[in-house]
Structure 1
Amino acid sequence: MASELILLASYEAKNQLQLSLKKAFELLESKLRPPFPLTISNPEEYMHLNQAILYGVLCEPHKAKVHMKHLHAIVTDGYELFLSLLVKIVNELYLKLVDSAKNQLIWVTKEMVDVSAIGIDGLLVCLVRQVVGADFSEGNLWLCSELANLFLCKWDCLLEEEPLVMTSALYAYLRLLADHCRLSVDVKLDALKQLEIKFCVKLLREQFHLCLKIGRDLIRLLQDLVHVPEFKAIWKDLVLNPGKFRATGFLDISQLYRTRTSGCYFLLRITPEMETQLRFLLSCVKFGSQKRYQAWFAKKFLLRPGGEAVVVDIVRFICCSHHPSNEVIQSDIIPRWAVIGWLLTCCRKSYFEAVAKLALFYDWLFFDERVDNVMNIEPAMLLMVYSMPKYMKLTHSLLEFLLLLVDNYDLDRKSIIVRGVSSAFGTLVQKGVVCSMDVLTCCDVLSPFLRERLQNFLLGSNVGAPKDLQPVGVPADPMPLLSLPDMSIMVTPAASQKRKLQARGEMD
């Protein structure tokens, strides 16, 4: 008899997906033993047979190979139906699966990679999303390790058949590594960190042309890992010898600055459950009635040990992946800027608050109205405006942080950043997000020092839409190379790193 697929508490209702799979297995169990009847009469029977085989694979580990031979013999759709069932299990049942079923899930995923099943990229992405950031529980670290091993073991096959899924894995593991490396003295994490480093470095060194597809957020992720020797070496090559990556057309890191990161990457560090709750909050909850929903969300996802590390991922998701319709924007639903303002208050440590602010303003630094979306920069602007005058301290903090980034993020490429931020301000006015910058520059309750700095910036830059910015992927006039970022102050002091390299004689 097959074991159970999931564990349910006594108060939980039976799961319909699990019931349908089990029912198909029990109905067709006699046909799941050799010799197999290889005739399928209709699509409905084919669906039930796929369900039965999948249930057998997950719940009868000792017979899994027999079930897979059966599947290979009867498949007529390139495994598309079988993969869709696997995706549903991962998205709906993963947290409830018994341990043996989780083991079998990884095993059957590897089998599907080997046969280049239709939809394997979607299954791998779903599995990666189940790894929770900054969660050091045994089960979460096990999944993280198993998937890293899978990507390494199936390296050649995935690069040939699904190369873009490797960039998704790279994005996820760079973020996970940042969390894992903060616990540098935890022995149980050492083997996992080395595995993650091996995968990320191998992809960056051998397939950098694929890594470029991530866009500018690749730089943001690498900044968090600059203290790790292997990534410090990668930074040094990015700074001094970009040709070493053998990526055709890649001459300078500023090309990454100008490449917008697709919103699909930000979903990778948001679990499906978290995404569902965030979209509900941002689509259905009225402004003023959100406190109990926020309290529930915080208790579920943020108040656990290390939970505030996820805030940066949520901020990027809200800015770049959740763009509400005009109907929602014009309604009394809680706006994105208000949720982000609340998230910033959830950061108890200054480091997490700083990386969350960088996530909020990151697209401002390189904004080009020809390729970037005003919705990505809208929340930061409205958060500064609507925090006045009641939460003036927040407005001060955000504006000061933005101006600090302009002055210090990358001194060697300050012209790019000035154009990006001025373009952001200009587009926000042009698109009607704010009527004019007077809302800040003429605000009496804003610090005179900040007002003066902002006015000087706006006067000194062509606010509106700089037209001379080079297209994505095309380097501008030759500029000095980017320097190693110093995440201790959350900006990238380019010149200081170049001086350090010169002092050590490493510039040659």
Structure 2
Amino acid sequence: MASRLIVEAPFEAENQLELSLRQAFESLQPNLRPPFSFSISIPNPDQYSQLNRAILHGILTEPHFAKTHIKHLHGIITDGYAMFINLLIKVVHQLYPKLLGSVKSQLLWVAEEMIYVLGIGIDVLLVSLLRQINGGDFSDGNLWLCLKMATLFLNKWQCLLEEEPNVLSCALYVFLRVLADHCRTNRPSDQNFETLRRLEVYLCVKIVREEFHLCLRIGRDFIRLLQDLIHVLEFRDIWKDLMLCPSKFNTSRFVNVSQLYRTRTCSKYVLLRINPEMETRLRFLMTYVKLGHQKRHQIWFFQKFLHEPDRETIIVDIVRFICCAHHPPNEIIQSDIVPRWAVIGWLLKSCRSSYVEKSVKFALFYDWLFFDESVDSVMNIEPAILLMVHSIQKYIDITHNLLEFLLYLVDNYDVRVENKVLIAKGVSSALQLLAKKGVIQSYDVLTYCPALSPTLKEGLGSLNSFCNKRASWLKCHYKIKSESWIHNSEKGKKMRL
């Protein structure tokens, strides 16, 4: 009888993917030992699929025969390894948390083999493995995966740089985020953990210093993640060069940090910090559960993913996911389904430390600071304004704290004149568009709220004033430009006559 891939709980239904791999192995096991008798004819699709499944199961469960199985695979491949890698992706996506330790080791081994042959879909496989690295998780299994993935990227550096450079930008995003947890932990001194941390730092610094164009692909969230690591010497030096000496990165496309501020981060990077199971649960909550019936779902989610104290840092990643990667259609927005702002409000109240709470607020407002209607989506900024507005009646402290934090960011996030103007412009543009799109009727609901302090109202009024002045300047600018065009056009006509 073939070995199992996963550990199943009592009374749990048999996993169909694991069952299909095991049955394929059991039916073809006599054919998976040398000498192999390769037929001249190409197997039909069903036979080819069964053979791929059987070989994969053999590689994962028989380490002592793994090299034999991989040679067998090389001999029968007709599709550039596309089917085999697709099966690997399914195993990672559906089974990884339940896989036996020995199977996980084999999974990483065969992933490295697929890089060697440049199999079709290897980029998706590596991204799937990166998503299994959990933030705030200091378990041996999670740290082992961090070590293995960091080592893999360094061992296959040149190959990935030439063939799949986007995967390196994904690795940078993940390890910058993970390092923020690993460099802040109060864990007792541990040589293995220190080795891992140094390896992660080395990988990130190597990517930033040698291939900075990959950082440009990430966009503004690269800066957000880097700021969490300024207390680490290597990243403090990178930060100084970003601010004072951008030419050190040897990238002609990079002029100054405002260029990164203006570049929206693609949702594929944000998804990297949410494992597939967490993504499924969150999307279910915000797609099918009615407002008022979400409490038991939230309790289950908290106990499953956030119960341990170290894990609360992942709330920051969840908020970025909700803002940037989960954009429900209008029929859900206009229904009684749990809205995004309500989930974020619950997550904000679930924060146990002030540091995490501030980081969550920062993640919520980050796209506001550099908002540009031509680049950014109104859906990224919608949850924050709706959370402030809907909290006025019963939870005015949430409205007060969020608005206070936003105004603090406008004044203090980047004090250099040109970037301070950029931020004020971004926030005022965000407010203007939210009213224009009908997300809120007017932000007078905030400026005239009697429960808010006069200081906050004054700060919001200043943004409103900036917005109106900017609108007047644009109107005047385009009027002058239009008159100039008409004048030049008339002048051109006279010259032609």
The TM-score normalised by the length of structure 2 is 0.92
Matched, 1:270 2:274: yes
Tell me which of 440, 449, 466 is aligned to 1:443.
449
Instruction: Report the AA paired with residue 135 of structure 2.
Output: G
Report what 2:381 is aligned to. 377
- Give 1:187 shift: 2.5
CA distance in 2 between counterparts of 1:236 and 1:446 reads: 38
CA distance in 1 between counterparts of 2:142 and 2:268 reads: 22
Contact 2:2 2:26 in 1 (8 A): no
- Give 1:416 shift: 0.4
Contact 1:369 1:465 in 2 (8 A): no
CA distance in 1 between counterparts of 2:472 and 2:32 reads: 66
Report what 2:407 is aligned to. 403
Report what 2:346 is aligned to. 342
The TM-score normalised by the length of structure 1 is 0.90
Which structure features the higher share of helix residues?
Answer: 2
Report what 1:96 is aligned to. 98
Larger radius of gyration: 2
CA distance in 1 between counterparts of 2:342 and 2:186 reads: 35
CA separation of 1:463 and 1:373: change in aligned 2, threshold 3 A:
farther
- Give 1:162 shift: 0.5
Instruction: Report the AA paired with residue 304 of structure 1.
Output: E
CA distance in 1 between counterparts of 2:9 and 2:443 reads: 55
Higher mean displacement: 320-329 or 5-14: 5-14
Contact 1:427 1:465 in 2 (8 A): no
- Give 1:461 shift: 3.2
Contact 2:361 2:402 in 1 (8 A): yes
Report what 1:296 is aligned to. 300
- Give 1:455 shift: 1.1
Alignment RMSD: 1.4
Contact 2:428 2:466 in 1 (8 A): no
- Give 1:183 shift: 1.6
CA separation of 1:208 and 1:221: change in aligned 2, threshold 3 A:
same
Report what 1:57 is aligned to. 59
Report what 2:420 is aligned to. 414
Report what 1:480 is aligned to. none
Contact 1:425 1:464 in 2 (8 A): no
Contact 2:25 2:54 in 1 (8 A): yes
CA separation of 1:463 and 1:347: change in aligned 2, threshold 3 A:
farther
CA distance in 2 between counterparts of 1:463 and 1:225 reads: 37
Instruction: Report the AA paired with residue 278 of structure 1.
Output: L
Tell me which of 368, 377, 384 is aligned to 2:372.
368
Question: In the TM superposition, what whole-angstrom CA distance separates every residue of 1:183-231 from its partner, at most 9, and x where no partner exists?
Answer: 2553332111101001000000000011110000000000000000010
CA distance in 1 between counterparts of 2:35 and 2:442 reads: 76
- Give 1:133 shift: 0.7
Equivalent residues, number: 468
Report what 1:147 is aligned to. 149
Instruction: Report the AA paired with residue 187 of structure 1.
Output: S
Matched, 1:171 2:173: yes
Q: How does 1:421-436 map to 2 (within 5 A)?
A: 421-436=427-442
Instruction: Report the AA paired with residue 177 of structure 2.
Output: R
Tell me which of 453, 463, 470 is aligned to 1:457.
463
Report what 1:12 is aligned to. 12
Matched, 1:206 2:210: yes
Percent identity between matched residues is 61
CA distance in 1 between counterparts of 2:10 and 2:293 reads: 32
Tell me which of 84, 87, 92 is aligned to 2:86.
84
- Give 1:47 shift: 0.3
- Give 1:437 shift: 1.6
Report what 2:201 is aligned to. 197
- Give 1:466 shift: 9.7
- Give 1:79 shift: 0.4
SS at match of 2:272: helix
CA separation of 1:156 and 1:402: change in aligned 2, threshold 3 A:
same
Matched, 1:388 2:396: no
Question: In the TM superposition, what whole-angstrom CA distance separates every residue of 1:143-162 from its partner, at most 9, and x where no partner exists?
Answer: 11100000110000111111
Question: In the TM superposition, what whole-angstrom CA distance separates every residue of 1:427-463 from its partner, at most 9, and x where no partner exists?
Answer: 1011110111211112222222211221122113347
CA distance in 1 between counterparts of 2:389 and 2:314 reads: 25
SS at match of 1:226: coil
Contact 1:216 1:261 in 2 (8 A): yes
Report what 2:128 is aligned to. 126
Contact 2:432 2:467 in 1 (8 A): no
Instruction: Report the AA paired with residue 4 of structure 1.
Output: R
CA distance in 2 between counterparts of 1:410 and 1:462 reads: 23
Unaligned runs of 5+ in 1: 469-508
Contact 1:284 1:333 in 2 (8 A): yes
Report what 2:31 is aligned to. 31
CA distance in 2 between counterparts of 1:293 and 1:60 reads: 40
Instruction: Report the AA paired with residue 87 of structure 2.
Output: L
Contact 2:175 2:200 in 1 (8 A): yes
Instruction: Report the AA paired with residue 17 of structure 1.
Output: L
Contact 2:127 2:167 in 1 (8 A): yes
Instruction: Report the AA paired with residue 178 of structure 2.
Output: L
Tell me which of 277, 281, 284 is aligned to 2:285.
281
CA distance in 2 between counterparts of 1:9 and 1:27 reads: 26
Report what 1:253 is aligned to. 257
- Give 1:2 shift: 4.7
Question: In the TM superposition, what whole-angstrom CA distance separates every residue of 1:231-274 from its partner, at most 9, and x where no partner exists?
Answer: 01111111221101011221101000000000111111101110
- Give 1:51 shift: 0.1
SS at match of 1:34: coil
Tell me which stretches of 4 or more aligned residues in structure 1 moved more than 6 Å: 463-468
Contact 1:368 1:423 in 2 (8 A): yes
Contact 1:422 1:463 in 2 (8 A): no
Report what 2:482 is aligned to. none
CA separation of 1:344 and 1:466: change in aligned 2, threshold 3 A:
farther
Question: In the TM superposition, what whole-angstrom CA distance separates every residue of 1:147-184 from its partner, at most 9, and x where no partner exists?
Answer: 00001100001111110011111000000000011125
Instruction: Report the AA paired with residue 320 of structure 2.
Output: R
Unaligned runs of 5+ in 2: 475-497
- Give 1:41 shift: 2.7
Report what 1:332 is aligned to. 336
Tell me which of 146, 153, 159 is aligned to 1:157.
159
